[in-house]
């Protein structure tokens, strides 16, 4: 990958000069970022596959073990598989885990195509009352029209009627991929929202609520993706002596279920402090898939959650030796103590992640982390710089910094509280010694 150097940032002169990758990454659009199964389901704030590919080719070899502790929809895992590296992924979000599982599982397209034809035929022929398959969704009639509920219930009945396993999971992801589009929510809203713009489109007859037709199209289009991954898998088996291992392990990036010194390289794009409400983004899909139990509990388990309670943050007092974080907390606590605590808690959780990564990485193992700057309560947070400070305190050294402009519309997501990330950094850390601090 050709790269060009950029100027040293004056306020980050303790970091290596960032090498600008914008020109190189800007050329990847459309199918170039959604080949194989990379585009099988929309997921917020995921990085394009060329980013983990760059890290894999720069800092690992065939046969190495790679970890993504915040795997999201599994981009790093799929790229690792294609390049002959074993990979492991961790994520607490149940839909992310399902998407990733389908994304990384090669399926023979011939039997899947036959199953799909039978499934679609049964759905189209079904004239029964399938309302028993409609899940309990808060404000259900606000989100879905009666005819949409009926059609989605029919689809669910037959998808859930297929044999459990990889094929059923594929059909479930196809089903999930149409739910937001069939709802009354604006499809371009990050979090489900019935906007005036969407209502205007409905009034003008510019929206379609043909759920069964939409599902059929989704299945056929994603069968093309499956076929491409299957061809790639045949090449992978032929090229590499041992087929790469791909596993989703555990759910918590702060307590990783791997042995000490097991991983050669880690690559991730972690969440931001209260930047994206990951549970809310896909709440409609998870209701239909039966994946959303206690929403508050799941939200509280996510690193970067905005959920905090007065009995916890009330007696809390901000204390940190990290200058950038101290400045951020000072700005937030003047506005609202809860907000300051949310940000502090996020970076404390990331400190715990760094400690775990120090444990599971081999000696001199690399940790590539994608992060930028975001804004919370109109306070700018230099997230990448604070994370680099925490890494240094956690036994890592900074080996390189790359930067690029975020240009993909699905990546350039307006974060919560008007926080938009326009430029990302790839921080490359090297494990050097044991963590020197166990607090911020």
- Rounded to whole angstroms, the Cα distance separating 122 from 127 reads 10
- DSSP bridge partners of 370: 426
Q: What is the 3-state secondary structure (H, E, C) of the chain?
A: CCCEECCCCHHHCCCCCCEECHHHHCCCCHHHHCCCCCCCCCCCCCCCCHHHHHHHHHHCCCCCEEEECCCCCCHHHHHHHHCCCEEEECCCCHHHHHHHHHHCCCCCHHHHHHHHHHHHHHHHHCCCCCHHHCCCCCCHHHHCCHHHHHHHHHHHHHHHCCCCCHHHHHHHHHHHHHHHHHCCCCCCCCCCCCCHHHHHHHHCCCCCCCHHHHHHHHHHHHHHHHHHHHHHHHHHHHHCCCCCCEEECCCCCCCCCCCCCCEEEEEECCCCCCCCCHHHHCHHHHHHHCCCCCHHHHHHHCCCCCCCCHHHHCCCCCCCCCHHHHHHHHHHHCCCHHHHHHHHHHHHHHHHHHHHHHHHEEEEEEEEEEEECEEECCEEECHHHHHHHHHHHCCEEEEEEEEEECCCCCCCCEECCCEECCEEEEEEEEECCCCCCCCC
Q: Which of 75, 70, 72, 100 is nearest to 349 (CA)?
A: 70
Look at strands 361-372 and 246-248 and give their pairing: unpaired
Look at strands 4-5 and 379-381 and give their pairing: unpaired
Query: What pLDDT does 114 receive?
Result: 98
pTM exceeds cut of 0.85: yes
Tokens 């094929």 correspond to: 167
Q: Which of 6, 21, 76 is nearest to 47 (CA)?
A: 76
Which pLDDT band holds residue 225 (cuts at 50, 70, 90)? very high
Digit-coded pLDDT (tens) for 352-376: 999 999 999 999 999 999 999 989 9
Which pLDDT band holds residue 124 (cuts at 50, 70, 90)? very high
Phi, psi angles (nearest 5°) of residue 247: -135, 140
- Decide if 260 contacts 280 (C-beta within 8 A): no
Please say if the pLDDT value at position 241 is more than 70: yes
Query: What pLDDT does 417 receive?
Result: 47
Average pLDDT over residues 114-122: 98
Please say if the pLDDT value at position 1 is more than 50: no
Q: What percent of the chain has pLDDT over 90?
A: 80
Terminal alpha carbon distance of the chain: 36
Please say if the pLDDT value at position 265 is more than 70: yes
Query: What pLDDT does 257 receive?
Result: 96
Tokens at 223, concatenated: 């069968």
**Weakest mean pLDDT among 16-30, 148-162, 332-346:** 16-30
Average pLDDT over residues 149-155: 98
Name, in order, each residue with C-beta under 8 angstroms of 186's C-beta and a sequence gap of 6 or more: 193, 194, 195, 197, 198
Domains identified in the chain and CATH numbers = 4-95+252-431 (3.40.50.150), 109-231 (no CATH)
Q: Average pLDDT of the chain? A: 92
Query: What pLDDT does 420 receive?
Result: 55
Look at strands 263-268 and 65-68 and give their pairing: parallel
Please say if the pLDDT value at position 6 is more than 60: no
Answer with the residue of higher pLDDT: 267 or 410.
267
Which pLDDT band holds residue 411 (cuts at 50, 70, 90)? very low
Please say if the pLDDT value at position 408 is more than 60: no
- DSSP bridge partners of 66: 87, 265
Which pLDDT band holds residue 413 (cuts at 50, 70, 90)? very low
Query: What pLDDT does 426 receive?
Result: 97
Query: What pLDDT does 189 receive?
Result: 86
**Weakest mean pLDDT among 74-83, 103-112, 431-440:** 431-440
Name, in order, each residue with C-beta under 8 angstroms of 278's C-beta and a sequence gap of 6 or more: 44, 93, 96, 271, 302, 304
Look at strands 374-376 and 361-372 and give their pairing: unpaired
Average pLDDT over residues 234-256: 96
**Weakest mean pLDDT among 9-23, 60-74, 77-91:** 9-23
Please say if the pLDDT value at position 181 is more than 80: yes
Query: What pLDDT does 208 receive?
Result: 86
Query: What pLDDT does 8 receive?
Result: 37
Which pLDDT band holds residue 293 (cuts at 50, 70, 90)? confident
- DSSP bridge partners of 87: 66, 246
Average pLDDT over residues 310-339: 95
Query: What pLDDT does 359 receive?
Result: 98
Answer with the residue of higher pLDDT: 379 or 417.
379
């Amino acid at each position: 990958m050709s790269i060009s150097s950029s100027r040293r940032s004056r306020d980050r002169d303790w970091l290596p000069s960032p090498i600008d990758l914008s020109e190189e990454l800007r050329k990847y659009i459309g199918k170039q970022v959604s080949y194989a199964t990379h585009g099988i389901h929309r997921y917020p704030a995921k990085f394009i596959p060329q980013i983990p590919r760059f890290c894999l080719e720069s800092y690992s070899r065939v046969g190495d073990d790679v970890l993504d502790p915040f795997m999201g929809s599994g981009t790093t895992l799929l790229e690792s598989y294609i390049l002959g590296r074993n990979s492991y992924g961790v994520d607490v979000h149940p839909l992310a885990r399902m998407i990733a599982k389908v994304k990384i599982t090669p399926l023979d397209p011939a039997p899947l195509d036959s199953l799909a034809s039978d499934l679609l035929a049964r759905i189209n022929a079904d004239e029964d009352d399938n309302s028993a398959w409609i899940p309990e969704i808060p404000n259900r009639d606000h989100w879905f029209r009666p005819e949409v509920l009926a059609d989605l219930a029919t689809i669910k009945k037959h998808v859930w009627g297929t044999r459990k396993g990889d094929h059923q999971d594929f059909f479930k992801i196809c089903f999930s991929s149409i739910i937001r589009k069939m709802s009354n929510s604006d499809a371009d809203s990050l979090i489900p929202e019935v906007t005036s713009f969407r209502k205007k489109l409905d009034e003008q007859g510019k929206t379609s609520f043909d759920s069964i037709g939409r599902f059929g199209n989704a299945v056929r289009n994603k069968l093309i993706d499956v076929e491409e991954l299957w061809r790639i898998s045949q090449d992978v088996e032929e090229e590499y002596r041992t087929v790469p291992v791909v596993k989703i392990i555990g759910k918590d990036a702060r307590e990783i279920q791997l042995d000490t010194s097991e991983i050669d390289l880690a690559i991730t794009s972690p969440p931001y402090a209260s930047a994206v409400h990951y549970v809310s983004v896909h709440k409609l899909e998870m209701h239909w898939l039966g994946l959303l139990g206690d929403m508050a509990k799941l939200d509280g388990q996510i690193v970067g959650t905005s959920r905090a309670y007065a009995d916890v943050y009330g007696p809390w007092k901000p204390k940190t030796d990290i200058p950038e974080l101290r400045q951020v907390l000072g700005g937030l606590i003047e506005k609202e103590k809860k907000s300051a605590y949310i940000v502090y808690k996020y970076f404390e959780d990331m400190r715990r992640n760094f400690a775990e990564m120090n444990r599971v990485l081999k000696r001199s193992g690399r940790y590539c982390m994608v992060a930028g700057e975001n804004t919370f309560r109109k306070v700018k947070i230099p997230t990448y710089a604070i994370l680099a400070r925490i890494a240094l305190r956690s036994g890592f050294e900074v080996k390189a910094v790359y930067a690029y402009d975020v240009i993909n519309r699905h990546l350039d997501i307006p974060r919560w509280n008007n926080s938009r990330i326009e430029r990302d950094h790839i921080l490359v850390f090297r494990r050097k010694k044991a963590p020197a601090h166990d607090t911020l």
